[in-house]
Structure 1
Amino acid sequence: MILGPPEQIDSATRAFCATISPETPLYVPVRPAAASKPAYCFDNSVKYATANGGEAVYGWAVWRWPGRWFEAEHHAVWRSPGGDLLDVTPQAGDPVRVLFLPDPSAPYDPSTFRPNIMAPDGHEDLVREYIALVAQRGAITRTYWEPGMDVLPLFSAEDQARIAPLDARMAEIRTAIA
């Protein structure tokens, strides 16, 4: 799977972003801060702002698997006192930049879980099926989420039985569309 920041902000990328926020997506350089941890962008950005001035800016990191799908992940970056944006959180795959979509309507709230937003990049039936399976799986796993939780607990035997065929089919689809 090749999911990373879109290589360009084309019409398909702008259209996906417009379904999430009226703001303009922009590329933000990634330079992880020394003490920052992967997957803790909200804490990392606030701590960096506390130490260096500026503020955390909330929105979405936008990822794309070309020809397959877009995915937006709730995210935060740091805005310097001079107004420049910087992603201080280490990212999977070590991209030099992320596509960031500011969204003032999506501040970080530890009591609110914001699932990733996915949409097809094209019209392939398998991609649409995969996205539907992700949503089904998320509906099950989100019932286990609680504020402040770092990892999900073990699923009940009943939910494990519901998740297993979803995971198996998702793996088949990823193999088929790779």
Structure 2
Amino acid sequence: MFDPPRFVAARTLNGSREAACHLNALKAVDAWGGEAVTGWAIWQWQKVMLQAEHHCVWKDVSGRLFDVTPQRCGEAKIVFCVDSSASFDPSGRSRRDNVRKNISDMPEVDSLISLEAAKRKLMMSDCWFEGDQLVCRYDEIAVAALQDNIELLTSVIVERVGIWPA
């Protein structure tokens, strides 16, 4: 079940890696107790799109939540929704895609959302963990073509709204 969104402070662990939130949260549990909590990090591209990213944070022994995963832009806090049904597959074979919502009136955003979903599906179709490293096999040429189209559409959208995605 979803909890209401809330701000969660960042507290990056030494040795934490971007895009490895579940493993980072489990390392925090091993180091300090508490538990790993799954849910969704909510991101907004102002006037364009909302995106919910499957994410995991650490709950300390007193019940406070912390994001122990370094974020690309160095955020001091994130918006997070606890979702106990958003489980994590430790084998890496089953990965959840982001949930994206167009909040504009631009059809280009719907196209961008479709391209992002296609790229994610292609990249995550054959993945597994080797130790704590996620390994994926995919068609790099197809992913590069999708990425080129994503970048083109992103620039068209930025030109219309004047705001880059965070």
Normalised by the length of structure 1, the TM-score is 0.77
Residues 110 and 175 (structure 1 numbering): CA distance in 2 closer, same or farther, change over 3 Å?
same
Give structure 2 stretches of 5+ with no counterpart.
159-166
Tell me the equivalent position of 1:132.
Answer: 114
1:102 maps to amino acid: V
Tell me the equivalent position of 1:3.
Answer: none
Question: Post-superposition shift, 1:172?
Answer: 1.3
1:115 is matched with which residue: 90, 93, 97? 97
- In structure 2, C-alpha distance between the alignment counterparts of 1:154 and 1:75, rounded to whole Å: 23
Question: Post-superposition shift, 1:137?
Answer: 2.5
1:153 is matched with which residue: 137, 156, 161? 137
Tell me the equivalent position of 1:30.
Answer: 10
Question: Post-superposition shift, 1:163?
Answer: 4.2
Tell me the equivalent position of 2:64.
Answer: 84
- In structure 1, C-alpha distance between the alignment counterparts of 2:11 and 2:2, rounded to whole Å: 26
Two-structure CA RMSD over aligned residues (Å): 2.0
In the TM superposition, 1:1-178 aligns within 5 A as 22-111=2-91, 112-148=94-130, 150-153=134-137, 155=139, 160=141, 162-178=142-158
Question: Post-superposition shift, 1:109?
Answer: 1.5
Give structure 1 stretches of 5+ with no counterpart.
1-20
